[in-house]
Structure 1
Amino acid sequence: MRDKLLITGGAGFIGANFIRYLLENTDYEITNIDALTYAANMENIIQYEGIDRYQFFKCDIGSKKELERVFDKKYYAVINFAAETHVDRSIQDPLPFIHSNVNGTVNLLEFVLAGKANKMIQISTDEVYGSLNPNESPFSEETPLAPNNPYSASKASADLMIRSYYKTHNLHLNITRCSNNYGPMQHKEKLIPKVITNCLNDDTVPLYGDGLNIRDWIYVEDHCRAIHLVLENGRPGEIYNVGGIEEKTNLDVIEYIIKELGKDLRLVNKVPDRKGHDRRYAINSSKIFRELGWIPEVKFEEGLARTLKWYLKKEKGSI
C-alpha cells in the first residue's frame, strides 16, 4: 500500500514543484490542498489531473472546518507549504499572514496531535533569522530568530508553534528553512520572474535602493530534494537549513538576466527602498549535508538558464 501525503499550498511555486518531484521520483499517494489565493495558480497543477495517485481539493488551512474534509483519513506526513509570502503585502496588511501562516499551522498541528498524520514538515524561510552584515557568518540552525517584517514574523511564530508542539507532545515534527528559491512556475511578483517578465515586455525593472542587498539563491529542484530527504530521514524535532551557496546582490541578478535576454540595462529603474529591507541572507547547510547527505547540485547559471527557458516557452504560449 502506498504511503499517503498531504501537501498544503501545492498550487503555489515550491509546492507545485515538490509535487512534480514526488510524482517523478516516488510512489507516494498525494492529496494536494490549496486555498487558491492570488499566489496560487491552477496552471501549475492542471497537468497532474487524471493521475490515479494524485487528488486536489480547494481548502483553506486557516479554517479547521474545511480541513476536516481532507483529514477523513490518516496520512504518513503533512508537508506545509501553504503560506502568504510577499513582504510588501505583509507590510500593507499583516492579517492574512497571521491567518494562513500562524493559525493555519496550528490547525494542522492539531490534526497531527489527533493522530491524523505520523509526522509534519513545516516549510519555513531564512528570513526568520533577520539580516546579516556583509562579513557575518551564514545563518545556522542555532541562530536566534529576529524577524524584521510582518511576513517573517508570522513564519517565525509558526516555527515556534512547531517547536512547542514537539516539546509538549513529542510529535514527529521538522522545520526546513531555505534561502531564496527560483525556477519554473514562480509568481511574477518575485524578483527573478518579475525581471524576466518585465524584460520580455520591454518594461522598466524596479530596483530597490542601491540594489546591493544580498540573497542566497537556490534552484527549486534542489530544495525539493532536500525536503524529500527530511521527509524520509529527518530526526524528530530537528531544524534543517537549506541553502544554495549562491550569494548575489539584487543588482547582479537583475543585470545578469537583462544581459541574458539581450535587453538594455537602461531598463533598470531605481525606486525607494522597501521598509525593513534586510541587507543580507546566507545559509549554512552543513547540518543537512552531515546528517542527510544533501548538497545543492544546480549552479545559479544553469538554474537560471532553465528558468529563462521555461518563461520564454510560457510567453510563447507553449506551456
Structure 2
Amino acid sequence: MDNKQIILKKRPEGNPEEANFEIQAIKTPEVEEGALLLKSVYISVDPYLRGRMRDEKSYIPPFEIGKPIESSVIAEVLASNNSEYNKGDYVHGMLPWKLIQVHSGNELQKVDKEQAPLSAYLGILGLTGITAYVGLNKIGDLKKGETLLVSGASGAVGSTVGQIGKIKGCHVVGIAGSDEKLTIMKEKFGFHSGINYKTTKDMNSAVKNACPEGVDVYFDNVGGEILDAALANINRYGRVINCGAISLYNATETPKGPRHETTLVKKSVKMQGFIVRDFKDDFESATKQLGSWLQSGELTYSETIKNGFDTLPSAFIGLFEGENKGKMVVKV
C-alpha cells in the first residue's frame, strides 16, 4: 500500500512557503500487538502550527527539521490488534502528517460519523468549537445585553464565538478581510454588523461606529492594530480574550505599538491569553453543549475543504492569505 508523509524541511523566515515542506514516500508499517493501523481521512491545518515551526520554547515543543508536521487528524482504523478498537472505527487525535501509520491507541477518541460529519470533529465539535466556548465562558464571562467584538470573525473560531454571543443575547460585531466574508458573517452566522479591516482606513472610528455602546468583550484572533482599536473602545470592566495573533505570526521582528497599561488600569480591564488545553476538564461539557446547539440549529459552521494529501502545505499557507471561510480542512 502506497504511503507518504510531509516533513518540515526548513524553518520559515517570514511567510511560510512550499519550500519549507517536503512530501516523502515511506513504507507502510506492520501492525504490532496492541496497536492500530490508521489511515488519515481529514487533516486540520491551523494558524498555531506556524508557531511550532519556530525553534523556540513555547507551551508545546517545536517541530523538528526532517520530522513530520502534526495536527488534529480524523483517521479510519484499517486494522486493529487492540481490543478497544475495531476495524472501521473512526478516531480523532494529534497525529503526524502521514497517509498511513501505526498508533498505540492511547489518547485517541472515537468519533461517530452518524452523529455529525467527520470533518466537524476537527472544527465545531473539536478544538475549534471548544476554544470559542471556553474562551467566552472562562475568560469573557459574557453577559446578556453586552457588546461582543470578534476579530478573525469569518474563521472557524471567530464565527463560532459570534454565534455563541448571539445565543447569549449579545450585540455581536465581527471583523474580517472582505465584503464577501462580512456578508456570510451576517447572513449565515447572525452577526449584527461587520468591519472590513482591509478597506477601513481608521479602525478606531470603525469600531466606535459599529459598537456605539462601547466594547464589553473583545475576542482577539489577530492582535496588532485591530487589538489597539478594540482597546481604544473598551468599556469599564471590559474583558479581552487573547486567543491568537495571526497578524504577527510571520513577523521577523516585534513591531512597536501603543502602550495599553493606562487603559487597562483606568478602566479595570481584564486581558488574558489562553491555550485551549488549559481547560481540558471542560472539554466534555463544552462538546456536549456545542453538540446540543448544533442539533437544535442554533449553531452552524462553514468549512473550506481542500482535496488531496499533497495539498496540505498549500492549504496551510492559504490560512495567512485569507483563503479560508471557516475551518480549513484537507480531505485525504
TM-score normalised according to structure 2 size: 0.35
Greater strand share, structure number = 2
Greater helix share, structure number = 1
Larger radius of gyration: 2
TM-score normalised according to structure 1 size: 0.36
